[in-house]
């Protein structure tokens, strides 16, 4: 998360983000990043190429999309419409769409290996499908490779090769549900793994705008399945309960973007002060070489108390009674996925371990964090959940 431009990176799902939720993010973050409309899979068709020797020299072949994103019907067309709608905000520097940068084969394979550990982790697979049932999923399961797969070329004769597919890891299959739910879980985890790493590399806050993504992020912090209890939630997180979503939703649905930006100018200083203080305290609790969150949960009680005092102080500084009406009470708000935001203090190294499991090699963890080590400013992540 950039020190001067706090950024929220919206985790994509099978449905479009609701405009009112993007407006809510605009009130609390300086910058919002969304996925590029041509980003279609964990590894896209254009991410890397294979070179095949033949009688004419060398032929370049690009494998098809691997682990394509789940999409509802007409998603691509409607998402491009959203991109067009947000164009004025993009010109004003409030919104951007993550660039598509071609990756080499090694980088693509590292990402797939990372995903392979996630889909082999039974707890993470369970966390990815809180909506599973005996009925078939309502979303469309895309055709193609739905598990992390390495593609190699085998020689079968003089200047003749054929592709060989090798499934990475041991993807966990769900029991007592419709068999397609396993594929849904794998594809959701692949998407989360890809974009949580993008958030890591960009010092951004991973922003989950739906219940499924929120529960996956909670599972990362608790190292648990989807059955995260209220007690566990209180252990690892506290509600960023400044703005009341139940009050805000009807208001934001009616406000146009110019009105949102006017309200934003009044609220951002308050959020900037609160975020700065929270970040200082999180970094104090969790230096970059800190052990996993399970070893520091006791310290979070102090952080929660400080947060309530900080919130009360900042609310008193607000002059507009109308704006104050959008905020929740400073105390006694139970933690729930319906909160405007949930803060989960964690280290990026712990995120990598929770997502991939202990089975992942040190080299793979170094790859996950590689670009961060080249930066002068390195922050621990703060997750934003909006169920």
- Please report, for the chain, the start and end positions of each structural domain, with discontinuous segments joined by +: 7-42+70-98+120-128+179-385
Q: Is the pLDDT of residue 363 over 70?
A: yes
Query: What's the chain look like in SS3?
Result: CCCCCCEEEECCCCCCCCHHHHHHHHHHCCEEEECCCCCCEEECCCCCCEEEEECCEEEEECCCCEEECCECCCHHHHHHHHHHHCHHHHHCCCEEECCCCCCCHHHHHHHHHHHHHHHHCHHHHHHCCCCCCCCCCCCECCCCECCCEEEEEEEEECCEEEEEEEECCCCCCCCCCCCHHHHHHHHHHHHHHHHHHHHHHCCCEEEECCHHHHHHHHHHHHCCCCCCCHHHHHHHCEECCCECHHHHHHHHHHCCHHHHHHHHHHHHHHHHHHHHHHHHHHHHHCCCCCCCHHHCHHHHHHHHHHHHHHHHHHHHHCCCHHHHCCECCCCCCCCCCCCCCEECECCHHHHHHHHHCCCCCHHHHHHHHHHHHHCCCCCCCECEECC
Mean per-residue pLDDT, 5-14: 88
Q: Could you read off the pLDDT of 322-353 as tens digits, one per residue?
A: 555 555 544 334 334 334 455 555 677 777 77
The first and second tokens of residue 217, run together, are 């992020």
Alpha-carbon distance values, 173 to 7, 43, 166, 266, 349 (Å):
35, 22, 18, 49, 27
Q: Could you read off the pLDDT of 256-268 as tens digits, one per residue?
A: 999 889 888 877 7
Residue recorded with tokens 């009112």: 20
Can you name the residues that pair with 8 across neighbouring β-strands? Answer: 32, 205
Confidence (pLDDT) at 344:
59
Q: Is the pLDDT of residue 175 over 90?
A: yes
For the purposes of burial, counting CB atoms within 10 Å of the CB of 328, is it exposed (0-12), middle (13-18) or buried (19 or more)?
A: buried
Question: Picking from 65-74, 89-98, 132-141, 357-366, which range would have the lowest pLDDT averaged per residue?
Answer: 357-366
Residue recorded with tokens 């007592």: 176
CB–CB of 191/42 below 8 Å?
yes
d(CA 357, CA 349): 11
Q: Is the pLDDT of residue 207 over 80?
A: yes
Residue recorded with tokens 């997750």: 383
Alpha-carbon distance values, 11 to 15, 106, 138, 151, 344 (Å):
11, 24, 20, 27, 16
Question: Picking from 69-73, 122-126, 224-228, 363-367, which range would have the lowest pLDDT averaged per residue?
Answer: 224-228
d(CA 221, CA 347): 10
Q: Which residue has the higher pLDDT, 359 or 270?
A: 270
Q: Is the pLDDT of residue 227 over 60?
A: no
Q: Which of 276, 294, 273 is nearest to 353 (CA)?
A: 294
Confidence (pLDDT) at 50:
73
Confidence (pLDDT) at 286:
58
CB–CB of 185/128 below 8 Å?
yes
For the purposes of burial, counting CB atoms within 10 Å of the CB of 329, is it exposed (0-12), middle (13-18) or buried (19 or more)?
A: exposed
Q: Is the pLDDT of residue 93 over 70?
A: yes
Confidence (pLDDT) at 142:
85
Residue recorded with tokens 């609160």: 274
User: What confidence category does residue 255 fall into, taking pLDDT thresholds of 50, 70 and 90?
Assistant: confident
Confidence (pLDDT) at 232:
46
d(CA 221, CA 228): 10
d(CA 48, CA 35): 19
d(CA 255, CA 264): 12
d(CA 127, CA 134): 17
Q: Which of 350, 268, 344, 270 is nearest to 304 (CA)?
A: 344
Confidence (pLDDT) at 193:
92
Q: Which of 155, 163, 136, 134 is nearest to 50 (CA)?
A: 163
């Amino acid at each position: 998360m950039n020190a001067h431009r706090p950024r929220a990176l919206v985790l994509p799902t099978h449905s479009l983000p609701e405009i009112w939720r993007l407006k809510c993010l605009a009130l609390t973050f300086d910058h919002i990043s969304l996925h590029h409309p041509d980003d279609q899979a964990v590894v896209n068709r254009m991410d890397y190429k294979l070179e095949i020797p033949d009688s004419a020299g060398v032929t370049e072949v690009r494998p098809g999309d691997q682990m394509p994103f789940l999409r509802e019907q007409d998603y691509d067309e409607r998402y491009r419409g959203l991109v067009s709608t947000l164009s004025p905000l993009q010109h004003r520097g409030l919104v951007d769409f993550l660039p598509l940068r071609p990756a080499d084969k090694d980088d693509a394979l590292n990402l797939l290996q990372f995903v392979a550990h996630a889909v082999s982790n039974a707890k993470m697979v369970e966390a990815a499908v809180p909506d599973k049932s005996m009925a078939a999923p309502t979303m469309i399961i895309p055709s193609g490779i739905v598990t992390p797969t390495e593609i190699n070329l085998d020689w079968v004769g003089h200047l003749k090769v054929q592709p060989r597919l090798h499934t990475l890891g041991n993807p966990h299959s769900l029991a007592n549900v419709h068999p397609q739910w396993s594929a849904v879980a794998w594809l959701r985890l692949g998407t989360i793994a890809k974009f949580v790493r993008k958030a890591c590399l960009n010092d951004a806050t991973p922003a989950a705008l739906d219940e499924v993504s929120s529960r996956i992020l909670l599972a990362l912090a608790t190292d648990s399945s989807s059955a995260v209890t209220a007690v566990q939630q209180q252990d690892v997180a506290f509600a960023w309960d400044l703005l009341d979503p139940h009050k805000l939703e009807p208001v934001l649905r009616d406000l146009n973007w110019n009105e949102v930006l006017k309200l934003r100018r009044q609220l951002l200083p308050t959020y900037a002060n609160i975020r700065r203080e929270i970040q200082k305290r999180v970094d104090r609790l969790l230096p970059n070489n800190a052990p996993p969150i399970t070893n520091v949960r006791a310290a979070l009680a102090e952080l929660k108390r400080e947060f309530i005092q900080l919130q009360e102080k900042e609310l008193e500084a607000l002059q507009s009674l109308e704006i104050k009406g959008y905020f929740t009470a400073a105390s006694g708000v139970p933690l729930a996925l319906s909160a405007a935001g949930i803060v989960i203090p964690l280290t990026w190294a712990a995120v990598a371990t929770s997502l991939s499991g202990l089975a992942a090699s040190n080299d793979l963890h170094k790859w996950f964090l590689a670009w961060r080590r080249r930066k002068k400013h390195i922050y621990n992540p703060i997750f934003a959940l909006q169920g």
